Amino acid sequence: MEYEAVIGLETHVQLKTKSKMWCGCVNAFGAPPNTNVCPVCLGLPGVLPVPNDEALRLTVLTGFLLNCEIPRFAKFDRKSYFYPDMPKNYQITQYDQPSTANGHVEFEFNGGLSRVRITRAHLEEDVGKSTHFERNSGVDFNRAGVPLMEIVSEPDITSANMAYEYLNALKDILVYGGVSDCDMEKGMVRCDVNVSVRPKGTKELGAKIEIKNMNSFSGVRRALEYEIPRQIEVLTKGGKLIQSTRRWDDGVGITEEMRTKEDAHDYRYFPDPDLMPLAPTDAWLAEVKSRVVELPLARKQRFMKDYGLPASDAQTFVWDVPLGNYFEGIAKKSKNPKSIANWVINNLRAKLAEANEKLVGTDSTPSQTSSTDRDAVERVPTMTLDNLKFKPEAILELAGLVENKTISSSAAQQVFAEMFETGKSPAAIVQEKGLAQVSDTGAIEKFCDEAIAANPGPAADFKAGKAAALNFLKGQVMKLSKGKANPALAGEILERKLKG
Ligand code: ADP
Ligand code: MG
Ligand code: ZN
């Protein structure tokens, strides 16, 4: 029998707020243990939570970005949680009336578009972090009370690769929307993976196995690549699967059973009596909605459609937003946006990378840097689109000079290098360096005669029918003319001379 996988993901994302969810403590990663804490996030008796307005906004903004409904009534509930990393012994979350519900995410997968429905995106709080030493354990409460959003998907995902692409799409959306930095290294995104298998084509869901607390997307993919065949094998051998929770061992590359349904927690949810329900008004919702930005997939599709770019160029401009915006500023005025894209991607981006490499290279970077020093080195003022020596219009002008055949494309490379260094206008550089293309037949004829005389071998090859030899001779003409000969004309003249 053939089986298919059914996967639903619960993704936890730390929100990009200045302060924590219920107190004024700083929401920051990497501070010394227990330095960003106060009576509220330490759960001391008698304190009261004050909701972080920006966190409420970012959650609803996420709802808009994920095509969700935004209910006019939502509330916070307490979920019993009895571990040392949560001093209140409960976690505030949204149980049956979340801030957003019933959305979907669309993303590119397998050469087409896939859609995964979103059950809900709700707001909760992160817990502290336990560290186990040889003889004792420590808890760092800096993370306790950091705004955390949980995005629950419907079980619409059907493979390890699809789960991976879904997570990347979700991350791109949240980063674009300014909802979260989604820095995996800093644990800003963690996810629980629910997976079952069933006979292909059947509707009924199999026993749900949950793999807890994955902190990398590639880990999720590997865990599923292990877990799906494992489940199929159990069933194929006549065994039974029961609802249970497993742990992914990244080093060994296997999942192991942690607990079954019998010892599942009773969370004893109840509405938090210290927090008012949420009833967003039209004006508040409109304000949040005004923060919705164009999403990565929409941007890619628009760049392909409006500017006739190939998918790879459009993708480059999705990944590098400032570069894409820079391109767009010029492309809007151009009749040939594709050539502008070539200049921006192949030349400008490469030059910037080169210039920044030089900057970093000349900087004597100490070999042993602490993490804060390393951050400082990375933030050395580098050459960016904002401090270019030339104006964006110069690229438009340069592309025009190639199009109207004033300069050859090889001369254009020289012009670009020069304008990048000095900021001089393309026309000025062409004149100064005498780069204007020679379309004067007489002058080109001379170069052609020279090239043929100096290369009798290739000339004979061409006469004998080897068409490619013409390109070599054309290259020689370009060399002799210092890149100024009109290459098309040079080709015609060479051909005429050799065939004649
Ligand atoms: P719980 O109440 O145990 O948290 P939910 O019904 O809320 O379970 O589902 C949690 C996640 O598990 C969701 O992402 C959902 O899509 C997914 N899920 C539910 N049932 C299954 C199943 N049988 N197989 C795979 N995923 C499932
Ligand atoms: Mg659940
Ligand atoms: Zn605090």
Taking the CA of residue 210 as reference, the ligand 1 atom at the shortest distance is 12
Neighbours of ion ligand 3 (CB under 5 A): 23, 25, 38, 40-41
Q: Give me the average pLDDT of each 10-residue run along the chain (500 residues).
A: 96 98 97 97 96 98 98 97 91 97 97 97 97 96 98 98 98 96 95 97 96 94 98 96 94 92 80 97 98 96 97 95 96 95 95 80 46 45 84 95 88 94 94 82 90 94 90 92 84 88
Nearest to 356 by CA among 323, 378, 375: 378
- 223's CB contacts (< 8 A; 6+ apart) are 193, 211, 214, 248, 255
Amino acid at 93: T
Nearest alpha carbon, ligand 1 atom 11: 8
Alpha-carbon gap, residue 70 to 288, rounded angstroms: 11
Please tell me if the CB atom of residue 27 comes closer than 6 angstroms to any atom of ligand 1. Answer: no
In 3-state terms, what secondary structure has residue 31?
coil
For position 359, what pLDDT does the model report? 64
Please tell me if the CB atom of residue 230 comes closer than 6 angstroms to any atom of ligand 1. Answer: no
Please tell me if the CB atom of residue 6 comes closer than 6 angstroms to any atom of ligand 1. Answer: yes
- In order of start, what are the domains of the chain with their CATH numbers? 3-288 (no CATH), 441-499 (1.10.10.410)
- Give DSSP secondary structure letters for 388-427: -SS-HHHHHHHHHHHHTTSS-HHHHHHHHHHHHHH---HH
Please tell me if the CB atom of residue 5 comes closer than 6 angstroms to any atom of ligand 1. Answer: no
**β pairing state of 244-249 and 209-214:** parallel
- Give DSSP secondary structure letters for 83-98: STT-TTSEEEE--SS-
- 289's CB contacts (< 8 A; 6+ apart) are 64
Alpha-carbon gap, residue 402 to 424, rounded angstroms: 17
Please count the helices (runs of H) and the strands (runs of E) in the chain: 17, 13
For position 105, what pLDDT does the model report? 98
For position 342, what pLDDT does the model report? 96
Q: How far apart are the first and last CA of the chain?
A: 73
Token pair of 292 as six digits = 């919705």
| pTM for the model | 0.84
Whether the CB-CB separation of 447 and 485 falls below 8 Å is answered with yes
Tokens 């964006």 appear where?
392
Q: Which strands, in side-by-side order, build the sheet including 77-80?
A: 90-93, 77-80, 270-271
